[in-house]
């Protein structure tokens, strides 16, 4: 057990806190002015694709300045890492802010060409069948094989549970289907086909 001596912890006075808040306010104002200046320089003095390259260069300088300030303000961050790690952090930040964000925007426009739903299902981020989707029971289904139904709900088995006379393991996805005669059936995902 470690005992902490409260007298060893430096106490911040109101003056110290106001000084920190003042520095934060000045830094925020400085960033706002700097970003406005960056946008003005890029759009007022350049045309078309030159704007993009100037924005990349200016954002790179901003990111480098941010890291330099951070290392100056908190020297332990820089001292605890190797030169390769510091260079990687700066390069990673520059790549993310200059290429990563525009790339995500471009990819969002072409999402119909990218099989995002298939990847999400494989990674377990979404369910295979959505609410109000019409699905058909497979020929090997335990009850009502070959019939169609509308998905009305989805649940995941939290602990071993009996469905009819079959024990379903934890993690099994079970769909509640409304059948053609308006009866509700609970069917495991492996017994469904789209």
Strand partners, 151: 177
Looking at the fold, whether 95 and 55 belong to one and the same domain comes out as: yes
Looking at the fold, whether 147 and 86 belong to one and the same domain comes out as: no
* Predicted confidence (pLDDT) per residue in 74-124, tens digit: 778 778 888 888 888 888 888 887 777 677 777 777 766 777 777 777 776
Looking at the fold, whether 134 and 104 belong to one and the same domain comes out as: no
Looking at the fold, whether 24 and 105 belong to one and the same domain comes out as: yes
Domain, as residue range, for 97: 19-109
Looking at the fold, whether 94 and 36 belong to one and the same domain comes out as: yes
176 vs 42, 72, 135, 147, 159, CA distance in Å? 56, 59, 11, 14, 18
Looking at the fold, whether 105 and 180 belong to one and the same domain comes out as: no
Whole-number pLDDT of residue 1: 47
Which stretches of the chain drop beneath a pLDDT of 70? Answer: 1-12, 49, 101, 111-112, 124
| Count: domains in the chain | 2
Looking at the fold, whether 91 and 148 belong to one and the same domain comes out as: no
Looking at the fold, whether 94 and 135 belong to one and the same domain comes out as: no
Q: Looking at residue 131, which CATH number applies to its domain?
A: 2.30.30
Looking at the fold, whether 139 and 173 belong to one and the same domain comes out as: yes
């Amino acid at each position: 057990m470690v005992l902490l001596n409260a007298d060893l912890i430096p106490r911040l006075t109101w003056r110290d806190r106001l000084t920190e808040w003042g520095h934060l306010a000045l830094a925020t104002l400085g960033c706002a002015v700097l970003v406005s200046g960056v946008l003005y320089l890029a759009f007022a003095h350049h045309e078309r694709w030159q704007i993009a390259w100037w924005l990349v260069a200016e954002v790179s300088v901003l990111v480098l300045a941010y890291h330099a300030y951070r290392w100056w303000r908190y020297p332990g961050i820089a001292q605890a890492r190797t030169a390769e790690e510091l260079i990687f952090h700066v390069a990673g930040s520059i790549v993310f802010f200059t290429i990563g964000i525009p790339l995500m925007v471009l990819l969002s426009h072409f999402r119909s060409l990218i099989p995002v739903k298939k990847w999400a299902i494989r990674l377990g981020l979404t369910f295979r069948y959505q609410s109000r989707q019409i699905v058909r029971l497979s020929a090997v289904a335990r009850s009502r094989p070959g019939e169609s139904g509308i998905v009305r709900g989805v649940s995941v088995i939290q602990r071993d549970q009996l469905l009819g006379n079959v024990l379903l393991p934890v993690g099994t996805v079970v769909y509640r289907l409304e059948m053609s005669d308006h009866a509700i059936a609970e069917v495991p995902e492996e017994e469904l086909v789209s």
